[in-house]
């Protein structure tokens, strides 16, 4: 069957789900230059499409010259419509009757029909059917939110492929990053069978399928029309998919790097590294990977001899809470990792995984530019990977280090390892120091709000260095400024440690000034 070049080039679809006709029109117009097509969610338009769908179709179809996917999603599959199967059948009969009579637009209009709807149509008698479905413009879809095994997914796919729809769509909710593998395996199966499958793992743990899905065989993928206008869990704005992740340019040959952590939503690492790759013309992409179960991830995605993900993985950034635990999975570590006992960077060298720590240099250099560390009294709050890196870094430059934290046992363990003093967090205000380094996630965007460091600890006006970089002005930095303390944002540490990671993966130095401008613009 022959399809138009415009339809064949669809890779990025903007989902538009607005409660009013006017809002839908405005959003469709705004995404026309970014997206290859638009999904129009009729189920979001209240009862208007049910009462008279044709009254809304004419203006909406005229809002863009791009292909349009018409969708009327019921609540049981994650939509807005509280409609029975018979009501949905009646709605689609009206919609199709209108569309199929419009030769000028018919070729670029597609129908997203749920599996139960199509099966009801196929099982109806010829007298009950309104006609033959235009299979070349049908997307047969199914959305599943409960946990699924490969056998379940394969059975669903078999049901889908038994129908002669041009496109098949299966969206699963990913409860863990490992669930994304089900989608990639299914995409390969469909490719071998010559079927056009749209495969998506929904949720934060499924972001990988939204970024790499098209490169690995998905017919197209969906993005939010704008930030805050997501129509499914884990949707990424189409502007980011197009410009930041460059999904239209990615292929199986693209080299992949990423950041692993839990949670991962706060990270600006994709912005920094993908900007660097683009500016230097590298066929690399950097992806966020929300990893709850580290051993499963390292086995199925990372280790060359056991990985099931068929990607060209070059390396990983490692963030909270995996910087210490990841050491158990590495074949070799750099000297700084051995001294610090934490790794924030992995480089895949052939069959070996090599760990590095770029936090020490990245975190210490900005501070040393502000304060003479030789003999300085430096208090560090925290005992995780970042705290370890800064403790070693400032200790090497001659500072006297005091460590504080809520878990005194961990603090004492770190203090003993580097030759520092340790104390409970409640003792912090009783000491005076020249520099206070905050190295916990408290204050990070998306983290539960709480006040960790009391104002009494700032009374001597130390330089306050908050390693949290998102938001740009954390609650701690705001309070420190109000009390007359000099402050240092964690943005510089973030940028410099990222620049060293970039060099380890690519052998090139990134354009640091350009990256700094992008980060400050994003945070402000």
**Cβ atoms of 495 and 519 closer than 8 Å:** yes
Q: Tokens at residue 224, please?
A: 């939010």
Alpha-carbon gap, residue 55 to 38, rounded angstroms: 19
Q: How far is CA 231 from CA 67, 80, 303, 427, in A?
A: 19, 10, 35, 48
Q: Tell me 462's DSSP state.
A: P
The conformation of residue 341, written as its DSSP 8-state character, comes to: S
User: d(Cα 499, Cα 508) in Å, to the nearest integer?
Assistant: 9
The rounded distance, in Å, linking the Cα atoms of 22 and 96 is 23
DSSP state of 240: I
Marked catalytic residue, from 11, 66, 142, 169: 169
Catalytic residue among 43, 112, 179, 359, which?
359
Active site residue 359: yes
* Calpha distance 28→444 (Å, rounded): 34
Tally: H helices and E strands in the chain:
20, 20
Q: Where do the DSSP E strands lie in 237-357?
A: 255-261, 284-290, 312-318, 332-333, 345-349, 352-356
Q: Which one is catalytic: 11, 273, 322, 323?
A: 323
The single residue of 11, 143, 266, 322 carrying the catalytic annotation is 143
DSSP string, 393-432: HHHHTT-EEEEEESSHHHHHHHHHHHT-EEEEGGGGGG--
Length of the chain counted residue by residue: 524
Q: How far apart are CA 415 and CA 359, in angstroms?
A: 18
> Hey, which residues are catalytic here?
143, 169, 323, 359
């Amino acid at each position: 069957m022959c399809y138009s070049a415009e339809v064949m080039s669809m890779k990025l679809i903007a989902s538009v789900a607005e409660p009013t006709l006017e809002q839908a029109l405005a959003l469709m117009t705004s995404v026309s230059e970014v997206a290859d097509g638009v999904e129009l969610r009729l189920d979001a338009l209240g009862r208007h499409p049910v009462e008279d769908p044709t009254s809304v179709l004419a203006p909406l179809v005229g809002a863009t010259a791009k292909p349009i996917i018409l969708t009327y999603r019921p609540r049981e599959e994650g939509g807005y419509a509280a409609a029975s199967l018979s009501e949905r059948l009646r709605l689609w009969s009206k919609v199709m009757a209108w569309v199929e009579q419009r030769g000028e637009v018919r070729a670029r209009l597609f129908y997203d029909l749920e599996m139960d709807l199509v099966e009801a149509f196929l099982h109806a008698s010829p007298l009950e059917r309104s006609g033959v479905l235009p299979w070349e413009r049908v997307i047969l879809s199914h959305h599943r939110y409960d946990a699924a095994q490969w056998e379940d997914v394969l059975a669903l796919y078999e049901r889908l492929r038994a129908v002669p729809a041009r496109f098949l769509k299966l969206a699963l909710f990913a409860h863990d990053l490992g669930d994304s593998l089900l989608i990639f395996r299914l995409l390969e199966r469909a490719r071998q069978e010559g079927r056009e499958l749209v495969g998506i793992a929904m949720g934060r743990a499924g972001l990988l399928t939204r970024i790499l899905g098209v490169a690995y065989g998905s017919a197209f993928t969906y993005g939010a029309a704008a930030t805050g206008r997501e129509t499914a869990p884990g949707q990424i704005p189409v502007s980011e998919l197009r410009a930041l992740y460059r999904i239209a340019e990615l292929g199986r040959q693209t080299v992949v790097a990423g950041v692993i952590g839990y949670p991962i939503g706060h990270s600006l690492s994709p912005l920094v590294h993908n900007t660097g790759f683009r500016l230097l013309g590298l066929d690399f992409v950097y992806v966020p990977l929300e990893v709850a179960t580290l051993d499963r991830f390292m086995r199925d995605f990372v280790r060359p001899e056991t990985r099931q993900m068929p990607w060209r993985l070059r390396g990983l950034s490692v963030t909270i809470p995996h910087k210490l635990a990841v050491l158990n999975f590495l074949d070799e570590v750099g000297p700084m990792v051995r001294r610090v006992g934490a790794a924030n960077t992995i480089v895949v060298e052939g069959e070996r995984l090599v760990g590095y720590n770029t936090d020490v240099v990245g975190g210490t250099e900005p501070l040393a530019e502000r304060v003479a560390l030789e003999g300085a009294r430096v208090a560090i709050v925290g005992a995780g990977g970042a705290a370890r890196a800064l403790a070693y870094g400032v200790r090497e430059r001659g500072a006297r280090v005091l460590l504080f934290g809520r878990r005194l046992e961990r603090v004492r363990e770190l203090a003993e390892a580097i030759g520092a003093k340790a104390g409970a967090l409640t003792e912090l205000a009783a000491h005076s120091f020249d520099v206070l380094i905050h190295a916990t996630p408290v204050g990070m965007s998306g983290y539960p709000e709480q006040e960790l460091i009391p104002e009494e600890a700032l009374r001597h006006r130390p330089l306050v260095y908050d390693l949290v970089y998102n938001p740009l002005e954390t609650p701690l930095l705001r309070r420190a400024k109000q009390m007359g303390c000099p402050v240092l944002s964690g943005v510089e540490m973030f940028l410099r440690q990222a620049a060293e990671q970039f060099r380890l993966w690519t052998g090139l130095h990134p354009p640091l000034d350009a990256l700094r401008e992008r980060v400050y613009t994003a945070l402000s």
